[in-house]
Amino acid sequence: MVAFLAERLKLDLHERKITIRPAWQGVDFLGFVVFPHHTVIRSRTRKRMLRRLTASEQLYENGAITTKLYLASLQSYRGILTHCRARRLLRYIDATFGCDAVTLSNSVDQAVEYGTVQKEFQ
C-alpha cells in the first residue's frame, strides 16, 4: 500500500500518524464513522448537535432569534443526518425540537407574504 501511494499517487504517509485497523471498526471522518456498508454519526457530533439545538430552542422561546432562523438551524441539522443511519436520532429531534415545524413553517410563509419578516442577512 505504501508503495502504491508513493509510486502512483506521489504521496507518503507519516510514520506515527497511521493506524491500520480492521474495516469493521470503521473510519472516523468529518463527524461520521464510515463502515464498509453504512455510515453513522460520531457520538461526539451527536452530543454537540443536541446541545446546540437545545440552545437554539431556548433562544427561539426567549425571542432572541426568529422563527425563520430557528427553522433554518433545525433543517440544517436534519439535512446532515440524511447522510448517515440516524433514524432514531431524527425521530428524537422531530419529537423534541420540531413538533411544530409545519406550524412554524406555515407562520413564516404567511409572515413573508405580508412582509412582516425582517431580512436577517443583509
Q: What was the pLDDT predicted at 106? A: 52
**Confidence tier at 105 by pLDDT (50, 70, 90):** low
Question: In whole angstroms, what is the distance from residue 72 CA to residue 69 CA?
Answer: 5
Which stretch of DSSP H or E encloses residue 29?
A: strand 27-29
Q: What was the pLDDT predicted at 113? A: 45
Q: Is the pLDDT of residue 99 over 90?
A: no
pLDDT tens digits for 42-94?
Answer: 999 999 999 999 999 999 889 898 888 888 888 888 888 989 998 899 888 88
- Residue boundaries of the structural domains of the chain: 2-114
Phi, psi of 12 (to 5 degrees): -130, 155
Contact between 86 and 41 (Cβ < 8 Å): yes
Q: What was the pLDDT predicted at 117? A: 43
